[in-house]
């Protein structure tokens, strides 16, 4: 299945300049599987959004079709076919 991924402009230098892309995932894909797929191509991007334990960084949010995954099932939140997954930095800092 194919999903659409929207990435933060601030990390474009880690994704070859791309801020959106389509990804092929297995039918039972999850947010973790999607991030793993991105990590295979863009390892520095992965370290920006997940720490070495695999946890999403505190001030990075992931939305699946508009729903923030921490309010769903976290990294095992299912990603349905045709979904739009947005990775975005939260409001933080000063």
Partner 1 sequence: MATTLLAIGTRKGLWLATSEDRRDWSLSAPHFLMTEVPSIGIDTRDRRRRLMVGVRSEHFGPTVLHSDDLGQTWDEPAGGAIGFPDDTGAAVERIWQLQPDSADRSGVVWAGCEPISVWRSDDGGESFALCRGLWDHPHRSEWGAGYGGAAAHSVVPGPEGTVHVAMSTGGVYRTRDGGASWQPRNSGISAYFLPGPAPEFGQCVHKIARDAADPRRLYAQNHHGVYRSDDDGDSWTSIADGLPSDFGFAMLADPRRGGRIWVVPLVADGERIPPGGELAVHRSDDAGATWRRLATGLPTHEYNAVLRDAAAVDAGDPVGVYVGTRRGEVYASADEGESFRTVASHLPDVLCVRAAVLP
Site for partner 1, rule CB under 8 A: 10-11, 43-44, 47-49, 51-53, 55, 57, 59-60, 89-90, 92-93
Q: Which is nearer to partner 1, 41 or 65 (CB)?
A: 41
Cβ closest to partner 1, residue 58 vs residue 71: 58
Min dist CB 59 to partner 1, Å, is 4
Least CB distance to partner 1 at residue 38 (A): 13
Q: What is the DSSP string of the chain?
A: -EEEEE--GGGGGGTTT-SEEEEE--TT-BHHHHHHHHHHH-HHHHHHHB-TTSPBPTTEEEEETTEEGGGTTGGG-B--TT-EEEEEE-S---
CB of 47 to partner 1, least distance (A): 5
């Amino acid at each position: 299945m194919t999903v659409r991924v929207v990435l933060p402009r601030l990390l474009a230098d880690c994704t070859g300049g791309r801020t959106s892309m389509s990804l092929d995932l297995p039918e039972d894909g999850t947010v973790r599987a999607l991030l793993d797929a991105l990590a295979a191509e863009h390892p520095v991007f992965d370290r920006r959004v997940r720490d070495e334990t695999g946890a999403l960084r505190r001030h990075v949010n992931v939305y699946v079709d508009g729903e923030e995954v921490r309010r769903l099932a976290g990294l095992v939140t299912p990603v349905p076919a045709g979904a739009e997954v947005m990775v975005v930095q939260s409001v933080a800092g000063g």
